[in-house]
Amino acid sequence: MIEIEKVWLTDDAVWIRTVDGREACEYFSDYPRLKNATIKQRANYNVDAFGINWPDIDEDLSFEGFFQTKNQTELYRLFMAHPELNASAIARRMGISQSLFAQYISGAKKPSAERLNQIFATIRAIGQELMVVCTV
């Protein structure tokens, strides 16, 4: 686990410093919800042992992701292409940790094939439920 000493925001990024002095940032422009958030929404964040959560915009970043090469996983591409998808709500619906789900999306952790199938099945189920609403 990465131990964080400090988290801070600049005009275009969120920065972290570890207790051993390493620093890294994630740019808001790489995350549609952060990119489109107001200054007030960006400033309202929570930090836990695993990462940062912005409850107003439903965005999560894992600390591990700050230090990893960005490999655009299938989940990453899906959530970047469709920012209307609520990652935290999908994680809650599946009964898994929001932080773990954020790590799957960022590529910090790789879901098993079975878990990946469950994620896609959940997203498809939500799509089917929305289609029913649209035809009523």
Q: What is the pLDDT of residues 38-82, one digit of tens each?
A: 999 999 999 999 999 999 998 999 998 898 776 678 888 888 788
Q: Is the pLDDT of residue 96 over 80?
A: yes
Structural domain boundaries enclosing 95: 4-135
Residue pair 108/62 in contact (Cβ under 8 Å)? The answer is: yes
The domain tally of the chain equals 1
Q: Is the pLDDT of residue 136 over 70?
A: no
How far, in Å, CA of 69 to CA of 91, rounded? 24
Question: How distant is the alpha carbon of residue 26 from its chain centre?
Answer: 12
74 or 115, higher pLDDT:
115
Neighbour-count burial of 112, counting CB atoms closer than 10 A to its CB (0-12 exposed, 13-18 middle, 19+ buried): exposed
Please tell me the predicted confidence (pLDDT) of residue 37. Answer: 94
Q: Is the pLDDT of residue 135 over 80?
A: no
Most confident segment among 4-8, 29-33, 74-78, 107-111: 4-8
How far, in Å, CA of 53 to CA of 60, rounded? 4
Of 44, 52, 38, 61, nearest in space to 108 by CA: 61
Q: What is the mean pLDDT of the chain?
A: 90
Question: How distant is the alpha carbon of residue 91 from its chain centre?
Answer: 11
How far, in Å, CA of 46 to CA of 116, rounded? 27
What is the model's pTM? Answer: 0.56
Percent of the chain residues topping a pLDDT of 90: 54
